[in-house]
Amino acid sequence: MADNFYDQSNANDKTLFERCYEFYKPEDFVVVMNVDDRPISYLIQRPENVLINQPSAVTKELYYLKDPETITLQPQQTRLCPAYEANHMIKASIDQIVLRKRGVAIKEAQRKGMDDENVQDLLGAMEAVSDPQTQYKYIRLIFQGKRDFVSAYNDQINSENDQRQQATKDLGLDNDTPNTAEKPAGKAKTSVA
């Protein structure tokens, strides 16, 4: 089993966050959507609100400068957020959706008078929070894309520069016209070696 832990080709040995990083990188900004028919809430602690002190090689102290934020997304609402926040939103969504479905199935089975063994068989056939196929299914639904702010900014600046250059050219103010003004006569410079 230890040999398979680092083998990234085995999808069953990956965590949910590792599966998320197949769709985006940890440094990306990501758009996520609440695909549930109910609001989803999750807690997030921003890294800038955590002070880390490591007084020795074996001790690490965390100081929280602010309380974690509670984020709530209504059904079909999207949110642009850093990848670490998207990970938590996706996990909270999968947990909420899958566990609610399982809870409904258990109540329905008990209402019909099913015994515990049959209920366990029913649950075994349903989606599970830790099932890789279930996780991939919901990641694909929730993940709506990435945003690259640096490229967008550079594209905007380059477009504005192109517009300025074209306006300058249209007005005849560009430097492509030869300079016909004569230089004033003056003393020749001598160079000293």
Residue 186 has pLDDT above 70, yes or no: no
Find out whether 41 and 72 touch, Cβ atoms under 8 Å.
yes
Residue 106 has pLDDT above 90, yes or no: no
Q: Cβ contacts of residue 52 below 8 Å, gap of 6+? A: 60, 61, 62, 63
Banded pLDDT at 2 (limits 50, 70, 90): very low
* Residue 109 DSSP class: H
Nearest to 138 by CA among 88, 97, 170: 97
Banded pLDDT at 1 (limits 50, 70, 90): very low
Q: Up-side HSE of residue 33: CA atoms within 13 Å toward CB?
A: 13
Exposure b/e, 141-171, CB count within 10 A at least 16 = b: bbbeeeeeeeeeeeeeeeeeeeeeeeeeeee
Banded pLDDT at 11 (limits 50, 70, 90): low
pLDDT tens readout for residues 31-88: 999 999 999 999 999 999 999 999 999 999 999 999 999 999 999 999 999 999 999 9
Alpha-carbon distances, residue 36 vs 63, 67, 136, 141 (angstroms): 34, 27, 16, 10
Distance of alpha carbon 145 from alpha carbon 44, whole angstroms: 20
Q: What is the pTM of this model?
A: 0.70
For residue 24 the two structure tokens come to 């985006």
pLDDT tens readout for residues 169-182: 777 776 655 555 55
Nearest to 73 by CA among 97, 102, 98, 55: 97
Residue 10 has pLDDT above 90, yes or no: no
pLDDT tens readout for residues 113-170: 888 787 788 887 788 888 999 999 999 999 999 988 878 788 888 877 777 777 777 7
Helices 116-125 and 83-111: crossing angle in degrees, nearest 10, is 140
